[in-house]
Structures are given as C-alpha cells and as structure tokens.
Structure 1
Amino acid sequence: MNPSPTMSAPKLIQGYEVVIGFETHTQLQTNSKIFSRASTAFGAEPNTQASPVDLALPGTLPVMNREAVQCAIKLGLALGSHIAPRSIFARKNYFYPDLPKGYQISQFEIPVVQGGEVSFFLGEEKKTVRLVRAHLEEDAGKSLHEAYQDMSGIDLNRAGTPLLEIVTEPDMRSSEEAVAYAKELHKIVTWIGICDGNMQEGSFRCDANVSVRKPGGPLGTRREIKNLNSFRFMQQAIDYEIRWQIDQIEDGHKIQQATVLFNPDTGETRAMRTKEDSADYRYFPDPDLPPLCVSEQWIEETRARMPELPRKMADRFVADYSLPEYDAVTLTQSPGMASYFEQAAKASGQPKLASNWIMGEVSRRLNTGEMGIEAAPVSAAQLAALIQRIQDGTISNAAARQVFDALWEGEGAEVDALIEAKGLKQMNDTGALEQIIDDVLAANPDNVAQFKAGKDKAFNALVGQAMKASRGKANPAQVNALLKSKLGG
C-alpha cells in the first residue's frame, strides 16, 4: 500500500498501527428506483412499493434511471474523480432472504466514478483520504426482526432503491480520523443534493473495514463492521474492534476475515458471517443492461449547474475575507452556515469577528439546542449589528454576550434597544474616566508603588479596580491608556 499523501506518523495503540478503510452506501435522492418506476418514498406499508422489475419476475427488464446517473456525475465532479465514459453493470450473486432476485445489479470491473479524494480537518491538522471508486447499484430489501416473536419478516420496499457505494483506500489510522472522514463525505453528498443524509432511515450507511498491524508490516486481516448509522456508534464500534483485534493477536489467535455487527446496547461487535471475497460473488456482466455511456457534454452540462462546492467556498473565504483555513472549512460545514457567515461578515464589515462569534457562541447554542443554523433565533443581521457595537466601542465583549443571550431568548429584536434597556453602554467620557482613575490611584498607593517597582501584576490590579468602580462600563482600552499615562508607563 502506498501511503496517503498527507499521512502523518501513525498513532500506535499498544504497539499496533490501526488501518481503516470505508465503504459508504449513499441512497440517491430520486423519485423512482434505479431500474423501475416504483417509488422510493420512505415509510410506506411493507411491500407496497416493490414492482415486478424489482423482484425480477419473468418477462421484466430493468431500465436505467437517468437521474441516478446524474447523481453519480455530480459526486465525481465534487470529489475530483474520473467519470468513466463507458461503464458496465454486473450481477453480484449471493443468497439472502431480502434479495429476491438471488443477485444484486451492481458495477464491478468498470465503475462509473473512479479515483478522487476527500480532504478534511482533524482538529487543525489537514487529512486526505483517497478514493478507489464509487459505483452505482441497487439496494436490497430489509429483514424485519423486532416486530415478530418467532419469525422474521421481509419488506421489499427498499429493493431496487438507487445507491452509490463509495469505497476508500485504507488511509485512515484512528477512529477519530474515520469519523471525521465520514462527516466530511456526509457534508458533500448532502451539499450537492444527491442524498438527504438521514442516517436513521438508512440513507447514509457506512461499513468500516478495520485491521491492525505492527508498524511497517503487511496489512492485517480486516473485519468489516456493517451498517453504522450514527457517528457516535461509528467511533464506539471501531474503538471496540481495535481493542478486540489487538487482544486476540496478543493472546496468540489469528484474526479471521468476517462481517461483524455493532450492538450499541453492549458496546461490542459480534461476528455475523465469514467475509466473502469478490470471487465468491461470481460477478458477470448483466445481460439485460447495455453499457452505461456518459458523454463529455453531459458532464460539462452537469458541471455548469453544480453549486459552489464547500472546498472552493472555503478557499474563497480565505481569499476574500482573510480567514484562517481552519475557520473557512468550519464555516462551510453546510450551505446554511456558509450563507449565515457571509451575511454577517458583509453587514458588519468584520469577517473575523463574525467567524469567531459563529464558531463560538452561535455554534455552542445550536449544539445545546440540537438545532441547525436555519433555526437560530439570532439572525445574521442581528449578529452583524452586535459586532458593529463591539467594534465602535459602544459595548464591551462581556456586555455583548449579555445582548446576544437576550436576542437568543427573544427578549427583543433590536440590538441598540437592548443595549439601552439593560444599561450596557460603555463609559467613553474621558473626563469621567479620569476622575475614576484618579480615585483608584489615590485609594491604592501600594499597587502604584509596586507597579513603579516593575511589578506588572500591580497594573492589572489597578485596571480591575477601575473597571469595578465604573461597574464594568468603562472602555478597557481607554482605562489602560489613561492609567499608563498617569503612571508614566
């Protein structure tokens, strides 16, 4: 395996290096299934959306859904991939109760999307994960176990739903890195509108291939954790699997290639079945489907209609607003967040302050309330007005937080009105400040003497006394300047 171009020194766990690759099944936002006109709507009564084509009944033939191909082109453009001008559909043969055909129509040797990469930040360190491919395929049905005591049910509504399976190189080296990759990919597919990203409904399902090895050694035997449907469970499952594999090896056991499931109630993974290799699926070209041909004109027409991508937008934020790259990437986590920032930055004329507030107070409140930026009670215009009052010295940062809290709680809509009502204006009257400072100096001769003896802490104590005497309304910058002038500092 060639190292990832941005791979840093591996983080070792008990002397072992962790190696993780991902396969993500992204359900495409189409109205009908990939090879039939049956609906893809979620939540219908079981087996009411399974057409004869989805079941491969005799005499039926699949017909390719153009919109599903359009989604694949969008993904390829977003990830910097090669979009194959000609790709092939194959039958992947296996037998499972919720696969009515006995095979799945997928792509094998020639996928529609080839290569590409996903870049993201882990903390403030930039990482890049290389992609192998993304191929179109149909989903299987769903086995229902919870609703029945002595048997399982089969719901074939999902059979034939269009998927893009996105496969990475084994470039990730920790559960934190894997989760950061998955979040970035989730952001991209929802940003370009090919997937709704609903993990609870199965629209974005991740399989993590996990192995461990001694540094510099050959790749270990991998185990695939299937259908991870939340980022929290994803990290828990990978961490448990890493510890389990290391313990097995240290106890002298060999790791067997297997498909495993994660139980969130116990926090453990358990083997479901031995893992198949590609030869076990007996792939062969599907005789009912011609090659998929994607013209250069189609690609360019799609490119022209693509939204500004988060990576490009982040680069523009760096160039246009002089933001650090970390800020720019954080602010482009969703179109809503990016739009909110741009509105606040332009209206306030202070992009860095707007970034700080959005990444700080706004995000903290959103996380606490488990809401998106679209539901924020404080509008971008209100935040901009608040930032302007900080910048022109009307209020201090501490007072600004009080105003922000009041806006968030709906106590008022106008920043200036709230500042007046709460009496939060800073004292900018030089004459009044001079009188306060003269009184503080007269009342604290020991601190004055200590400062003149070279003790800087004494100056801070005098600043504190002046701010206390002004009831927090003095402009700190003016207090500092006047104190230094009077002390001869």
Structure 2
Amino acid sequence: MPAATGLSPEILAKYQPVIGLEVHVQLLTQSKAFCGCRNEYGGEPNTHTCPTCLGLPGALPVLNKQAVEFAVLAAKAIGCEIRETSIFSRKNYFYPDSPKGYQISQFDKPIAENGVIVVPDAQGNPKRIGVTRLHMEEDAGKSLHDGFADSVSRTYIDLNRCGTPLVEIVSEPDLRTADEVFEYLTKLKEILLYTAVSDCNMEEGSLRCDANVSVMLKSDWEARGAAAYGTKAEVKNVNSFRYIRSAVEYEIERQIGVIEEGGRVVQESRLWNSAEGRTFSMRSKEQAHDYRYFPEPDLPPLVVGPEWQKQILSAMPELPEARRARLSAEYGLSAQDAATLTTTRSLGDRFEVAAKTAKSPKRVASILLSEITMRLRAAEIEFEQSPVTLDGVVLAADLAEAGEISSKQLKQLLDACFAEGKDFAYIYDRDKPQQISDTSAIEAMIDEVIAANPAQVAQFKGGKRTVAAFFVGQVMRLSKGQANPAVLNELVVKKLDA
C-alpha cells in the first residue's frame, strides 16, 4: 500500500510504531447489565428502557449474573487471571446519550488481568500480545445525527442501548504493525465466538475497537525502550477490521509526517473517514483523572470465588488452537485444512459429526472445504441453507473414496444438487452415474483412441510424453466421463509405451 502521506520508505523505516487496542464487546445476555430490560439490537427508539437505564432518581442497579459468567468465560479463553474480588466504579462524564452523567465500569480492580493472544508476525512466527485487563462495564445510548434540506442539523437520542453489558479488553502496547492489529482482532473475535459470549457483529456495534497509535525513532527505541514511547492518538469506533488496518496504517504515516516536518503529535481522539481514507481530529484525549473515578456506592464488591469459577468454566468449549491440533492428529488433516475447518465453531462441529461416520475424514474435509464451500459462496448462502446435508457430504465422500464416482461426476452431482435444491442422496439415486473401473473395458477404449490418432502416437514415441493427456481426454469423452481416472492414466501410459 503506498504511503498515505507520500513519505518515502526510507523515512518510514526510521520510525518504530507502537500500538495498543481497546476492544469493547457487547455480551449476549437476555437482559441488560443492571436491570431487567431486554438486551437486543434495534427496536423502536427508547422502548427498551426503564428508570435504571434512564438514570432516574431512586433507581438502583442490580448486577446481571449471566454477564459476570460471560465475562469470566471470555477472560479465561484469552488466558487472563480472574480477580476473586473486583470493584465497580463510576466513570463520570457528560454526554447526551449517557443520562446518568456517569458510566458504571471497573477501574483499579477489574475482574481479570494478564492475558495473552498469539498472532503471527511478519515472518509467520508466533508473537505473544499481552492483554492488560478485561473489565466489565455498561454501554451508552446512541446519538443519531440528521441533516435536513433547511440546512439545520438535528440530533436524536436513542437510549435502547443504555445499560447493555460490555467487556472492554485492553491490550499491552505490543503491536507494531497494522497487519498485527488485523491478526490480533481476527484471533480475538474467533475466540469470543467460540465461547458464545457475544455475536461480535461489528455492523450492529457488538464489537468496537479503539486503536492507540504512537511512533518514535528506532534509535530512541533501541536506546531507551518503553521510556521513548511517543505521544499517542486514539482512533475510535472503526466498524470493520479492514478499515482498522487502513486507519492504523494512515495514522502511523500521519504522525511520522508531523514529526518530520518539525511538529508535535497531539494527544487526541480521532475518527476514521473511510471515504477519504484518512483520520481526522474529534476531541482532545481525556486522561483517567478527567473521569473522576470513584467506587460505585450502589453496588457491593463482586466476588467470584473458586467454586463459582469452576462452575462457570465447566461451560468452556474446546478453543480453536487446541481443536486444530487435535483434528490434525486425530484425522490426519493438514494444518491449513484444520485451521479452515475451525474458523467457526459450527463448521468444526459439522465436520466432526460427518467425520465420525465417513470412511475417509480427509475426503470429507476436502469436499466441505472445496466443493461445498465454493458453491455456498456462489449462491451467497450459509451452510444452514445448503441443499447438501452432512449426510449428503458423507455419502459423496464415501462414493468418491470407494472409486464409485469420479471427481468430475462428483462435481456434476453437486452442481445438480445446488441447481435443484435437492440433497446429494436424491440426485445420486436418480442419476446413478457409474464409474468404469474394469481394466478390459478401459483398455478397449484406449485401443480405439490410439488407432484413430496415429499422429499423436508418433509424437509420444518421439519423446513428447505430455501428449498422454490427449489420450486420457479422448477416452474420457468416449466413456462419457465414467472411466476411472486413476486406472485410465496408468493404462494409457502403459499402452503407449508398448
């Protein structure tokens, strides 16, 4: 990607970027964090509210037990240590979509700390990115901005989102490139989806990311380490991983440009404009003391003791990395196939159900990852809408493994399944393609093709052995695609050599 600021690669190479992420994740509870209102996206504005959401006098918060359990699951999945006793605090700030004038959050005693997420670095080697903390808090409402033909802008407040339970996951400033940011977020989202604590839907705001970016001269970094960290700017609320990568790339280059021109990077919050491909200033960045944190007087300390932790963690699923290693060992899958089959928990579950009954789990993996996935993408549907069921995949894999259908016949049958919306068993029983594996029958067809093409035989005899593919194709056409490819290839070469 060319430099957004027009700086030369030599200038960019002088600087060391330092990046830390703050990821806000809405928890998939049925009710809100501190009241009984429905926790769901959308709805008529200001209909999922109550006196507690609205911060009315006398309304008291009551902590959602499931939100605590989801926070513990998420924290342990990223390797955090659970704090047995954590404290809720008030984070004070005025904004129209926060009617209480403060946010219930956690400050100096969060529920979890000291986690790690492993990502590939530029050379593909594993790199550990520290997770400073995971803490619980509530979401604010939404400000909806609208402009009219009379040139008057109006802002509306929807408080349905007020009180939605969140966890904020704060990384150490261990990230150095925009690509590492992308990998970190991808890995984090994958883990959270496996635990089912959130749907991580960025379009609906279930997962939001702020990136803290700073740069320093590499010479300062090598001499002084973290003491040389530059002034950071925070890029807020970017709504896709692709845009976050672009925003971080731009911000790194922008800050280097400011320093190269003799300026000073200002600590501020910035927003990403995807249409223009740049960040722009939003407001000066607040410090922790600006929020005047103090312990929430209406909530007692949260105690998550060993017994409760044990009960919560009994619901922990096998996580992606462990599952990949097991699938490779148990079914002989390549690392790439195991990784692809475990990108979502549901795909991994489907594969394992099918693999337990199939003659060849590797053949099942191949059909799922190539033939089925390709057709799902073309049809723009998910596996749940696929006309080919898991039983159909197993049948297709078993037939192909036994040599009863060729790869070409498999493709034709699957094409018919998706075109007609029918499962594989129905199409196969109806069309019943038969693969010819009888050597005498195939030899007779080869003899016929050789007799009809003396020029190509002469080319083969003259040393052009690749012409064997011509004879294979001619026999396939003669057999209407039913000749067993493995047997055919072997016999064609043998016949020509004779």
> Is this a same-fold pair by TM over 0.5?
yes
Question: How far apart in 2 are the matches of 1:112 and 1:267?
Answer: 37
Native 8 Å contact 1:327 1:355 kept in 2? yes
Shift of 1:382: 0.9
Native 8 Å contact 2:110 2:133 kept in 1? yes
Shift of 1:299: 0.6
The gaps in structure 2 that reach 5 residues or longer are 1-8, 222-227
Alignment partner, residue 172 of structure 2:
169
Question: How far apart in 1 are the matches of 2:366 and 2:256?
Answer: 42
Native 8 Å contact 2:12 2:253 kept in 1? no
SS at match of 1:92: strand
Alignment partner, residue 79 of structure 1:
78
Question: How far apart in 2 are the matches of 1:347 and 1:237?
Answer: 47
Deviates more, 1:445-454 or 1:431-440: 445-454
Deviates more, 1:191-200 or 1:463-472: 463-472
Alignment partner, residue 204 of structure 1:
207
Q: Deviations over 1:130-187 (max 9, x none)?
A: 3111100111222221277433222233222211001112333443432333233223
Question: How far apart in 2 are the matches of 1:208 and 1:383?
Answer: 43
Native 8 Å contact 1:419 1:425 kept in 2? no
Alignment partner, residue 490 of structure 2:
481
Q: Percent identity?
A: 44
Shift of 1:390: 1.7
Question: For residue 130 of structure 1, what is the amino acid of its counterpart?
Answer: G
Q: Deviations over 1:356-390 (max 9, x none)?
A: 22222322333344433222221111112112222
Alignment partner, residue 429 of structure 1:
438
Shift of 1:426: 2.7
SS at match of 1:305: coil
Shift of 1:446: 5.1
Q: How many residues are paired up?
A: 478
**Are residues 22 and 484 of structure 1, via their aligned partners in 2, closer, same or farther at CA, if it must alter by over 3 Å?**
same
Native 8 Å contact 1:132 1:167 kept in 2? yes
Alignment partner, residue 237 of structure 1:
247
Question: For residue 105 of structure 2, what is the amino acid of its counterpart?
Answer: S
Native 8 Å contact 2:413 2:427 kept in 1? no
Alignment partner, residue 387 of structure 1:
397
**Are residues 220 and 327 of structure 1, via their aligned partners in 2, closer, same or farther at CA, if it must alter by over 3 Å?**
farther
Question: How far apart in 2 are the matches of 1:205 and 1:181?
Answer: 14
SS at match of 1:272: strand
1:405 pairs with one of 400, 404, 415: 415
Question: For residue 434 of structure 2, what is the amino acid of its counterpart?
Answer: K
Residue 99 of structure 2 corresponds to residue 95 of structure 1: no
Residue 34 of structure 2 corresponds to residue 24 of structure 1: no
Question: How far apart in 1 are the matches of 2:10 and 2:335?
Answer: 28
Alignment partner, residue 132 of structure 2:
132
Residue 182 of structure 2 corresponds to residue 179 of structure 1: yes
Shift of 1:301: 0.9
Alignment partner, residue 143 of structure 1:
143
Residue 300 of structure 2 corresponds to residue 290 of structure 1: yes
Residue 151 of structure 2 corresponds to residue 152 of structure 1: no
Shift of 1:95: 2.4
TM-score (norm 1): 0.87
SS at match of 2:272: strand
Question: How far apart in 2 are the matches of 1:354 and 1:38?
Answer: 45
**Are residues 31 and 433 of structure 1, via their aligned partners in 2, closer, same or farther at CA, if it must alter by over 3 Å?**
closer
Shift of 1:62: 2.8
Shift of 1:249: 3.8
**Are residues 401 and 173 of structure 1, via their aligned partners in 2, closer, same or farther at CA, if it must alter by over 3 Å?**
farther
Q: Equivalences for 1:97-136 in 2 at 5 Å? A: 97-119=96-118, 128-136=128-136
Question: How far apart in 1 are the matches of 2:81 and 2:338?
Answer: 27
Alignment partner, residue 195 of structure 2:
192
Alignment partner, residue 3 of structure 1:
none
Question: For residue 335 of structure 1, what is the amino acid of its counterpart?
Answer: R
Question: For residue 203 of structure 1, what is the amino acid of its counterpart?
Answer: S
Native 8 Å contact 1:18 1:212 kept in 2? yes
Deviates more, 1:210-219 or 1:221-230: 210-219
Question: For residue 20 of structure 2, what is the amino acid of its counterpart?
Answer: G
**Are residues 46 and 416 of structure 1, via their aligned partners in 2, closer, same or farther at CA, if it must alter by over 3 Å?**
closer
**What is the alpha-carbon root mean square deviation over aligned residues?**
3.0
Question: How far apart in 1 are the matches of 2:172 and 2:356?
Answer: 41
SS at match of 1:343: helix
**Are residues 308 and 440 of structure 1, via their aligned partners in 2, closer, same or farther at CA, if it must alter by over 3 Å?**
same
**Are residues 459 and 371 of structure 1, via their aligned partners in 2, closer, same or farther at CA, if it must alter by over 3 Å?**
closer
Shift of 1:18: 4.3
Question: For residue 182 of structure 1, what is the amino acid of its counterpart?
Answer: L
Question: How far apart in 2 are the matches of 1:399 and 1:22?
Answer: 50
Native 8 Å contact 2:417 2:427 kept in 1? no
Alignment partner, residue 4 of structure 1:
none
SS at match of 2:146: coil
SS at match of 1:202: coil
Question: How far apart in 1 are the matches of 2:377 and 2:118?
Answer: 24
Shift of 1:416: 7.3
Alignment partner, residue 61 of structure 2:
62
Question: How far apart in 1 are the matches of 2:376 and 2:127?
Answer: 26
Question: For residue 180 of structure 1, what is the amino acid of its counterpart?
Answer: E
Deviates more, 1:378-387 or 1:402-411: 402-411
Deviates more, 1:450-459 or 1:306-315: 450-459
Alignment partner, residue 3 of structure 2:
none
Question: How far apart in 2 are the matches of 1:338 and 1:39?
Answer: 31
Question: How far apart in 1 are the matches of 2:454 and 2:125?
Answer: 50
Q: Equivalences for 1:251-400 in 2 at 5 Å? A: 251-400=261-410
Q: Deviations over 1:98-136 (max 9, x none)?
A: 222332221122210112223466997655433111100
Q: Deviations over 1:373-428 (max 9, x none)?
A: 2222211111121122222222221221121111122254344744763x743322
Native 8 Å contact 1:121 1:326 kept in 2? no
SS at match of 1:265: coil
TM-score (norm 2): 0.86
Question: How far apart in 1 are the matches of 2:230 and 2:375?
Answer: 43
Alignment partner, residue 470 of structure 1:
479
Q: Deviations over 1:194-244 (max 9, x none)?
A: 223232222211222233445463444332221122334333433433443
1:439 pairs with one of 448, 462, 484: 448
Question: How far apart in 2 are the matches of 1:248 and 1:98?
Answer: 34
SS at match of 2:299: coil
Deviates more, 1:467-476 or 1:323-332: 467-476
